[in-house]
Amino acid sequence: MDDLLKALEDEGLSTVELRAVDDREVVDFAEGALAVLRKTLEERGFSVSAISTKSVDPDPEQMLSVAKALGAKALVLPYDRFDPACVKQAKAAGVEILLENRTELPEQCEEVLAAAKSPVVGAAFNPLGFAIAGKRPFLKAYYKGKLKRFVRQLYVTDGTGEGEATLPGQGNGEVKELLSILRCRSFDGFVTIRAETGKPEAFKESAKAFWKLLDSM
């Protein structure tokens, strides 16, 4: 983890979304381990924006507990694992539930978010996920769709329709267009740089491509 934190520091970043530490999912950490992790992060000047997981069957209650332990204000779930029953708990805990698209169509995402009818539930917009689904992330999913009113977080992900990840701005994710319109709309959510391999070197490459996109706008 130290190498990744150093990479974040080198890029001037101090907020992190946590999924795993040293190849172990944070949702599986015991209470004591979470306390140590939070102390380590805070001593380095880092805060946690959200908790996510790769589990095919995530436990929202456990994720809420972990989010609280780490001071995170959001948890990220895939659409097909969203349980409306946990909305009340999330609201009481002061934690948002952000739903991340992976292979869902924009219309499917809109339907789930609209049905939730809660300010606690929002969208974690993954451009690569929509590209894989065969939809243009900016033009179809955001600009011409109804999803824009739910977006609370943007993942800086890019790649081909076949699912091959690329650096931001080099694939079919329309990342530059999304960044541009969110800037125009005074977006105040998180813009999260994600390196698909999770390696510090890959993160630095993605971050540099992201800064380059911003500089070109």
Tokens of 102: 């992976």
**Residue showing tokens 């970043």:** 13
pLDDT score of 127: 98
CATH class label, 2-215: alpha beta
pLDDT score of 199: 85
pLDDT score of 137: 98
Tallying the residues shown for the chain, one arrives at 217
pLDDT per position as a tens digit, 96-133: 999 999 999 999 999 999 999 999 999 999 999 999 99
Contacts of 139 (CB under 8 A, 6+ apart): 174, 177
Q: For every residue of 20-79, which 3-state class applies, written as one string?
A: EECCEEHHHCCHHHHHHHHHHHHHCCCEEEEECCCCCCCCHHHHHHHHHHHCCCEEEEEH
Low-confidence ranges of the chain (pLDDT < 70): 196-197
